[in-house]
């Protein structure tokens, strides 16, 4: 076997492992079922990142930002027309009452970090 053939095989194997790892990782983000209210920590992203809420009911999301990154200062719920500033180490309550089933994402003001709300 020539070195370039070995290289092709190695690169191929690495790519396969990466694809597996990528999709396994995605599956790992299981939705946290919420009824009523939930605390969401804002630090390097949103934690929990994926939540599920019941349709037609009001759910309160309590955001607490402990990350000084200015990027996370604002949270935007495009589908719900909500845009809020999250002061450091302060609880900010955001209420949503989704009236249709589906998946809705929210993000920081620059659309870099994302969270997901599954309405079911």
* Contacting positions for Cu ion (CB under 5 A): 71, 108, 110, 112
Do the Cβ atoms of 74 and 42 come closer than 8 Å? no
Do the Cβ atoms of 115 and 46 come closer than 8 Å? yes
Bridge partners, 4 (sequence order): none
**Minimum CB distance to Cu ion, residue 74 (Å):** 8
Of 33 and 71, the one with the shorter C-beta distance to Cu ion is 71
**Minimum CB distance to Cu ion, residue 46 (Å):** 11
Of 7 and 110, the one with the shorter C-beta distance to Cu ion is 110
Of 88 and 110, the one with the shorter C-beta distance to Cu ion is 110
**Minimum CB distance to Cu ion, residue 5 (Å):** 45
Of 36 and 44, the one with the shorter C-beta distance to Cu ion is 44
**Minimum CB distance to Cu ion, residue 59 (Å):** 23
């Amino acid at each position: 076997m020539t070195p370039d053939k070995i290289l092709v095989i190695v690169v191929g194997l690495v790519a396969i492992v990466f694809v597996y790892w990528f999709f396994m990782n995605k599956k790992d983000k299981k939705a946290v079922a919420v009824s009523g209210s939930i605390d969401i920590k804002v630090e390097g992203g949103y934690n929990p990142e994926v939540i599920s809420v019941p349709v037609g009911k009001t759910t309160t999301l309590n955001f607490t930002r402990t990350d000084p990154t200015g990027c996370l200062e604002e949270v935007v719920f495009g589908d719900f027309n909500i845009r809020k500033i999250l002061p450091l180490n302060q609880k900010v309550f955001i209420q949503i009452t989704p009236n249709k089933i589906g998946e809705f994402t929210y993000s920081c003001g620059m659309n870099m970090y994302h969270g997901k709300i599954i309405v079911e």
